[in-house]
Structure 1
Amino acid sequence: MLEKEVIDFEKSIVIGIVTQNQSEEKLKEYLDELEFLTYTAGGTVIKRFSQKMDKPNPKTFVGTGKLEEIKYFIKDNDIKTVIFDDELTPSQSKNITKELDCKVLDRTNLILDIFAQRAETSYARTQVELAQCQYLLPRLTGMWTHLERQKGGIGMRGPGETEIETDRRIVRDRISLLKDKIKVIDKQMATQRSNRGAMVRVALVGYTNVGKSTLMNAVGKSDVFVENKLFATLDTTVRKTVIKNLPFLLSDTVGFIRKLPTQLVESFKSTLDEVREADLLLHVVDISHPDFEDHIESVNQILQDIKSADKPTIMVFNKIDAYQSLQYDENDITIEKTTKHYTLEDWKNTWMSKLGDKNTLFISATEKANFEEFREKVYEAVREIHITRFPYNKFLYPDYKDAVENE
């Protein structure tokens, strides 16, 4: 069984560039993530290629010499797919495909493909198809490779361009149809949200694959799909949850990622509405990931973009059971202490201390470590919101009748 799974993986290579705005270390982080994305999509990365450049080549993204090197490697190793870390322009994609004669994808295309694989509900499929159509529209000329022979001459004028224009119109009509369909579903979902009443809403947000769904299952006693792959969850799951005597709604949302395609932000508007309309955010962070601070920054940026950065937020640092720091000897003057040597206690004394104990948690969702503390802090935060909404709730104030009379 295992052998079959390995055979089915598509042999791929990934490509990125080091620029003035992207260091070699940063590129390595991005390519690590791109490799994980490739694995999630069903591929296996055979080799990485990188090049130092001031800016991407406008025609072929990488230099002609590097492209030639990649071309020979593809032929020698039977590579099926070439994946670039940055979004390619339509002309770059066309030129590279023509030169390499194999499937060429960029990060955006790869993420869209994963979303298409993961979409389970009709709504998620509609959102993904809209994003794919918006991505495809300016790239249609590169799709008509069978028309490249038409270079003029008798009987060779016009039909190719006409066919492309026809196809563009079909895609534009499809985009319009999908947008109308999403508007209808958005109205239905808005009605569903309004029917939930004034109950406090809590949303799990965070980078992809940080353990949001695992936490949702542990807290809400749900059965949300969990897998150690990126974007395991696309559809928002909302569950009524009770901690002590206090009910609230807990929602699990789609994970964020660096360089998130703009098409996805637009098409997944309703999914993000769950975040916009939440009263409290639980920002889940995989503290065992070496780039978790970058992940926090990426999520905060997206929250800023959707105007949700100012909501009450509890930072939930998950996977403490998997966190490992490098050994550090204070007596060894040859070693400089970096964040790689930090223990969890060291981290708590950094910028995290400014968040305050009330707004930070260190847990393991799988091992349920510090889970009682997690439940207590979430309860207190929800209770605080609940009190402002229902000042004389009998569950929170046993003697609330007296309070009413005294008022």
Structure 2
Amino acid sequence: MKELPEAHTIMKIYLSWSGELGRRASGVLRNSLEQLFPDFEIWSPGSDISAGSRWRDQIQNAMQSSELAIVCLTNDSRNSPWLLYEVGVMVGSSKKVIPWLVDMEFSDLSGPISQFQVIRSDAQSFHHLATSIHQQQSAYPLSQDLVARWALRTETEINQLLGRKQKTQKTRGKKEWLAQIEEAASSRNSELLQILAMKAETENISDRTILRALVDAYYDLRDSEGLINTFNLFQDKIGPDPKSYSQYAWALVRTAQTSKAISILEMAQAHGLEDYQLTTLLGRAYKERWREQLRLNNQEAAEESLRRAAETYTRGFGKYPNDFHIGLNAVQTLHLLGDSESVKVRNKLIPAVMSLAKKFVAKSGDKFWPTASLLELSVIRGEKAEAHQLAEKLRAKANTPWEIEATAQNIRLISSAKGFSGASPEWISDLVTKLTEEER
């Protein structure tokens, strides 16, 4: 067992039960919880009462010293006076109480205990229980994958105890799978989604539509860790799907796994899977690696990454000539490269990108970031009067100092680029100063 951090306080959980089924169910849950939380102290009447001791005193002390009580409710024990007494003691001591409906439904409850948030004997409930306990107190991190597997295993063990046949999504068919995935995504229920992903693995689901829907749902929830875990589980079965690969790469970039994201995107590109999203992500990944290499003062590697970003965006703009964001990034990266050929291509793209930029600003209602992009283009083009005019607009539109500073930083970067063929015009420095001074 791992050594606990010096300042760590062991959490105590009290398992309340009554009747034979309650005793056996609490034993299953206790064993399961001890595997997931080996640093916790889980106390249960019967198994933890010392021989010859005053059992009432031991139970009373255990309840008083516990932070959480899980009450195992069965059809036979739901009206047990002893269980209700223990719930009353815990509530009276301001302890958290979680009723567990072992073989019941919420509609079977009545009286004060029905006012509590309950859990059922299913994987999603066990997942929620573990997450709640971990958030309350634990010395160690828990991965989503580990919790989901634990919840499924606990559900299986309880179903075996109850003599239930394990329900499988496989028997319900593709429509039911997709409906549950849609439900998890629309309700933003990451716990249900994790359970579904683990069930897909344990039941050896191979339908590409289902597996791609899982990845898509994680993307909708912006759950990078869950998306990466799910894609890694089913990559071979997902098949050549540009959308899934792009979403996977997005999650990798978001979790600072830039090199891996680039490898995935380049592989997809080599297999002819390139689409709009993949193009923009690959350009973004190259730019991120460029920044990383600059921070490491690796100029040669930084320039190579920047060149690849420029090539990706330029090629992408040729394929998607009406997309302002790809065009803007193409112009910016070519400008930052600054060699004669890059400047030549940049100048060729600028008129089309400027036209798109003005349409984009007009459509957005002159919002801050579209206007900031137009300002950056004006600086690249060397349009002093236009740039100052746009800067005035930005000062009026900024909601936070960060917006102004981010724009100023971009302009500083543009002004230091080779694309100006030497020292940048002094008016750009004055523009940045005025922009930031006004904000202060």
Does the alignment reach a TM-score above 0.5?
no
Where relative contact order (Cα < 8 A, 6+ residues apart) is larger, the structure is 1
Higher normalized strand content (fraction of residues):
1
Which protein is richer in helix relative to its size?
2
Query: Highest Rg: 1 or 2?
Result: 2
Could you state the TM-score of these two structures normalised by the residue count of structure 2?
Answer: 0.24
TM-score, normalization by structure 1: 0.26
